[in-house]
């Protein structure tokens, strides 16, 4: 187990990113990808440096907004995102068993099981604080955090993120953020500076602006950005939102997409299907998304992770915490919509399916995720009702290949496109028409 633990340590991740960066810096590679890797390297190095320098390190959930902590000088470690990233690179599956062996739910989300295993074996750097959110992103994540907090026995603070987006919810979350500040100040002796937070939030407006412009370009036929590279938006923001390097990344990604759009080029040579992707991706094998592009000319133009994050702040209000709360609920990460009535989310997808001229729809049913799997029927029925597009539910697991193998996943997708193409061939011709 020692060797496996070594592979999962931050030092190994840094090495992995450094090697990746060398490849990405070669001529002909996209600049955005190198910036992404540089940003991840900075983030992980900061985690290690914080431990070495005795600065406070906070473990946070994937929806715990990092800006407030970063602005106060607290290093953040989004350990759930980190674990997913490492599992996606093909290492660490054994830690899922370790998590189960410790008594954590065997039906929980696979990366959460691995997180528990990694904490039990002391692979994560020991946190000074644990800041978590409930009921979002999901029960499995929240319970994993309870177990991790119990293992490390470190000061823990829970932030309630309501599922609503109304003014009462904004007011409540603003108060909740004040409690976060009080907790961090008490635990670390660091102080909150509203002007510092404002800087992060102003940067956030620029980040979101580039993000929205890039998403807009995905409307182009052919589309200029697939789901896999688009997902990088989400990962980078979880741990570094508000930093100038994230602006650089978003700016570069937008420029690359714009260049393609201006030339009338798409992300693949021949776009045959414009796909709506919902659910949680097979992170352990994102190559499946590349395969769909190559095999069926299917490019995801609307996807679950991006469709949630619409709109932007006009300005930062006098009390930056109020803007911050508004941003969390209504703009980014805006996952609160998951924890409430999913019919609203489904209507949003149905509308986007038509607007982005989709002709196909896949729902990745990640077996460990009750939150998303539970609305697959509501989602797929609504998409069908609103845009006439039938969906396929693809059974799989986000990080555990033993649930559904690569070939089993591909076979489900293959069958869907074969049926779809046969129907399209027999009943209509032309992109965007309804089967």
Q: Binding residues for another protein, per CB under 8 A?
A: 102-109, 112, 116, 132, 134-135, 138-140, 142-144, 146-147, 149-150, 156, 158-160, 162-164, 168-169, 171-172, 175-176, 178-179, 339-343, 365, 367-371, 373-378, 381-382, 393
Residues in contact with 28: Cβ distance below 8 Å, sequence separation at least 6, in sequence order: none
Minimum distance from residue 347 beta carbon to another protein (Å): 11
Q: How far is the CB of 139 from another protein (least distance, A)?
A: 4
Cβ of residue 291: shortest distance to another protein, in angstroms? Answer: 24
Task: Specify the residue, 104 or 283, whose C-beta has the smaller distance to another protein.
Answer: 104
Task: Give the nearest distance from C-beta 59 to another protein in angstroms.
Answer: 14
How is residue 62 written in tokens?
């994937």
Nearer to another protein among residue 45 and residue 160 (C-beta): 160
The span from the CA of 368 to the CA of 280, in Å, is 10
- Please provide the DSSP assignment of 86-127 as one string: HHHTT--THHHHHHHHTT--TTS-HHHHHHHHHHHTT-SPPP
Minimum distance between the CB of residue 179 and another protein, rounded to whole angstroms? 6
Shortest Å, Cβ 150 to another protein = 5
Q: Is the Cβ of residue 66 or residue 176 nearer to another protein in the bound state?
A: 176
Contact yes or no for 149/126 (Cβ under 8 A): no
Nearest to 353 by CA among 375, 382, 383: 383
SS (H, E, C) 148-192: HHHHHCCCEEEEECCCCCCHHHHHHHHHHHHHHHHHHHHHHCCCC
Q: What is the dihedral of CA 231, 233, 238, 239, to 10 degrees?
A: 120
Q: Assess contact for 137 and 65: CB atoms under 8 A.
A: no
Residue pair 275/78 in contact (Cβ under 8 Å)? The answer is no
Token pair belonging to 321: 């915490």
Tokens 């990080």 correspond to: 399
Residue 249 or 349: the one with the smaller Cβ distance to another protein is 349
Q: How far is CA 266 from CA 19, 289, 300, 355, 413, in A?
A: 28, 15, 12, 18, 22
Q: How far is the CB of 140 from another protein (least distance, A)?
A: 4
Q: Which is nearer to another protein, 164 or 258 (CB)?
A: 164
> What residues form DSSP beta bridges with 362?
277, 392
Residue with smaller CB distance to another protein, 257 or 308: 308
Q: Which CB atom, from 11 or from 381, has the smaller least distance to another protein?
A: 381
> Taking the complex as a whole, how short is the minimal distance between the CB of residue 234 and another protein, in angstroms?
20
């Amino acid at each position: 187990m020692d060797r496996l633990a070594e592979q999962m340590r931050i030092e190994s991740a840094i090495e992995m990113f450094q090697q990746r960066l060398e490849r990405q810096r070669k001529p002909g590679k996209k600049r955005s990808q190198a910036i992404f890797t540089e940003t991840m390297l900075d983030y992980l190095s900061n985690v290690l440096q914080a431990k070495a320098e005795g600065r406070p390190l906070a473990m946070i959930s994937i929806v715990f907004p990092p800006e407030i902590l970063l602005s106060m000088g607290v290093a953040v470690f989004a350990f759930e995102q980190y674990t997913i990233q490492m599992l996606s690179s093909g290492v660490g599956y054994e830690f899922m068993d370790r998590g189960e062996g410790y008594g954590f739910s065997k039906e929980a989300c696979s990366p959460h099981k691995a997180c528990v295993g990694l904490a039990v074996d002391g692979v994560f750097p020991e946190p000074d604080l644990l800041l978590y959110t409930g009921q979002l992103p999901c029960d499995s994540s929240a319970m994993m955090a309870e177990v991790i907090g119990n293992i490390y026995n470190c000061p823990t603070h829970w932030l309630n993120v309501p599922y609503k987006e109304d003014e009462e919810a904004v007011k409540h979350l603003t108060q909740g953020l004040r409690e976060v500040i009080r907790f961090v100040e008490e635990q670390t002796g660091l102080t909150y500076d509203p002007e510092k937070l404002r800087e992060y939030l102003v940067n956030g407006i620029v980040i979101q602006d580039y993000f929205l412009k890039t998403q807009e370009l995905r409307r182009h036929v052919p589309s200029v950005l697939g789901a896999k590279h688009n997902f990088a938006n989400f990962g980078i923001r979880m741990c570094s939102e508000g930093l100038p390097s994230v602006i650089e990344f978003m700016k570069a990604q937008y420029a690359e997409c714009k260049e393609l759009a201006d030339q009338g080029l798409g992300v693949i040579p021949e776009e045959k299907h414009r796909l709506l992707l919902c659910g949680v991706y097979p992170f352990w094998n994102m190559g499946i998304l590349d395969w769909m592009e190559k095999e069926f000319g299917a490019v995801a133009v609307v996807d679950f992770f991006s469709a949630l994050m619409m709109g932007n702040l006009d300005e930062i209000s006098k009390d930056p915490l109020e803007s911050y709360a508004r941003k969390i609920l209504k703009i980014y990460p805006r996952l609160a919509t998951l924890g409430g009535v999913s019919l609203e989310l489904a209507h949003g997808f149905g509308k986007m399916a038509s607007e982005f001229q989709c002709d196909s729809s896949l729902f990745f049913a990640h077996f460990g995720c009750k939150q998303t799997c539970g609305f697959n029927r509501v989602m797929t029925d609504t998409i069908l009702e609103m845009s006439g597009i039938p969906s396929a539910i693809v059974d799989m697991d986000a990080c555990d290949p033993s649930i559904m193998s690569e070939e089993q996943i591909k076979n489900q997708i293959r069958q869907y496109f074969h049926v779809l193409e046969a129907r399209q061939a027999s009943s209509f011709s032309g992109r965007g028409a309804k089967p």
